[in-house]
Amino acid sequence: MLLLGAGAGLIMKLVNASIPVAVFLVLLTSSPIVGRFAMAARQGDLSAGFMSEALSKGETLGFVGRHAVLVLIWATPLAILGGWLMRRMAAGVVDSAVSSGTIGIALLVAGVVRQSVSPLVATKADSVREALSIDMYGWVWARRQDWAPFLASLIGGAALFTALVWPLFGLLSLLLVKMSPAAGVFLSARA
């Protein structure tokens, strides 16, 4: 996953991509990994590894396609709204830091919720049409009692991952700065 994220960062740097494009690339590069585990779990294989042979290639590719469509649908309006807000703040039109902070937090929460729903819907659905149906979101709403533990484990897992990876990136950055200052600064800026 780290290699895929680093690959997305390299592509982003090479094509001089904007932040919304970068977010989409990171989400898309992690999608095949999430899809391998999610689709195996959907079939009942909860202990499947990454190299599980229980899945056909089409199942993971289907997940990636559904997830990409869902991410584009929710991320595009958030990116446009976030970009608009950042331009208005830079122009000094938004006077209150509290109001812009509140809007920023609301966008962040909306992004976390939507990114949490997207893999669930992409796993449950068999097609893009089904993933976009009202019935699918009725199913998500009916399972709302499971959201608190799901989001708690998601946020806790992300915090634990960050706590474990940042020191490693810091050490690697220090080593790279000794060998190549440009490479060290590049990695430090990404960590």
Give the tens place of pLDDT for each residue, 109-161. 888 888 888 888 998 888 999 989 999 988 888 888 888 888 888 788 878 87
State the chain's mean pLDDT as an integer: 76
Q: How many CA atoms lie within 13 A of 79 on its CB side?
A: 13
Residues 66 and 25 in one domain: yes
Q: How far apart are CA 155 and CA 138, in angstroms?
A: 24
Residues 20 and 94 in one domain: yes
Residues 17 and 62 in one domain: yes
Number of domains within the chain: 2
Residues 118 and 191 in one domain: no
What pLDDT was estimated at residue 129?
92
Domain holding 167, by residue range, is 146-191
Residues 129 and 153 in one domain: no
pTM over 0.85: no
Give the tens place of pLDDT for each residue, 173-185. 777 777 777 766 6
Residues 68 and 150 in one domain: no
String of DSSP letters for the chain: -HHHHHHHHHHHHHHT--HHHHHHHHHHHHHHHHHHHHHHHHTT-TT--TT-SSS-HHHHHHHHHHHHHHHHHHHHHHHHHHHHHHHHHHHT----HHHHHHHHHHHHHHHHHHHHHHHHHHHH-SSHHHHTSHHHHHHHHHTGGGHHHHHHHHHHHHHHHHHHHHHHHHHHHHHHHHH-HHHHHHHHHH-
Residues 135 and 191 in one domain: no
Q: In this prediction, what percent of the chain has a pLDDT beyond 90?
A: 4
Residues 151 and 134 in one domain: no
Higher pLDDT, 56 or 69: 69
Residues 32 and 103 in one domain: yes
Residues 80 and 153 in one domain: no
Residues 64 and 107 in one domain: yes
Residues 120 and 174 in one domain: no
What pLDDT was estimated at residue 33?
80
